[in-house]
A = this chain, B = another copy of it.
């Protein structure tokens, strides 16, 4: 059946996701992945041609998972402050369910930047969404509701406050000796504190 094929593919994808996020691209071996998937080594190349190709697919998935929802929020019709709340909520929610996603993307992008920038270059859809948001900001600035800021910097700040704690989890749990559980709760609470914090900083 074709069902069988899909099932094996999934097993491999899941295993690869696990191993790549844990060890990085270079650190992960095809044998690690095969073992994790409980599958013969040669099957990996049979199903996915090469390690690089397999990683590309994993990366693409992670990427879509994160950015898909974000673009939705950015594109809808609510107020800026609501969009900020929406972005913060989505980012943290996604990362709470998939804490390794951030590391996977960052570790790889810092070594191989093209892997990501290719996904944005020449994407006019994205550009349109950004411009629209910037105009929305400018309007509220003129109305005296918020301080002036570029969309880029605002987005940078949101991303920083939401994503960084996940990237830095090993650091912070080490420095402040928190347990795994506490960290989840902390991030859950931060959904609102971060949004409040940003909005407070923006209020004119």
Q: A residues within 8 Å of B by Cβ?
A: 22-27, 103, 106-107, 109-111, 113, 116-121, 126, 130, 152-153, 156-157, 159-161, 163-165, 167-168, 170-177, 186, 190, 193, 197-198, 200-201, 203
Contacts and interface: CB of A to CB of B under 8 A. Distances in A.
A16 to B, nearest CB: 16
A118 B130 CA distance: 43
A176 B203 CA distance: 25
B113 A103 contact: no
Given A27-B111, A106-B106, 13 more contacts: A106-B171, A109-B170, A116-B174, A117-B174, A120-B175, A126-B175, A130-B176, A152-B176, A153-B190, A164-B164, A164-B167, A197-B201, A201-B201
B160 A164 contact: yes
Scoring A24, A113, A193 by chain B CB atoms within 10 A of each residue's CB, the highest score goes to A24
Nearest to A120: B175
Contact of A107 (B107, B164, B173, B198): B107
Contacts of A201: 197-198, 200-201
A55 to B, nearest CB: 13
Contacts of A130: 176
A156 B113 CA distance: 26
Contacts of A176: 130, 152
B24 A170 contact: no
A161 B57 CA distance: 31
B106 A167 contact: yes
6 contacts: A106-B107, A116-B174, A156-B168, A156-B172, A157-B161, A164-B167
Contacts of A22: 111
A190 to B, nearest CB: 8
Contacts of A110: 103, 107, 167, 170
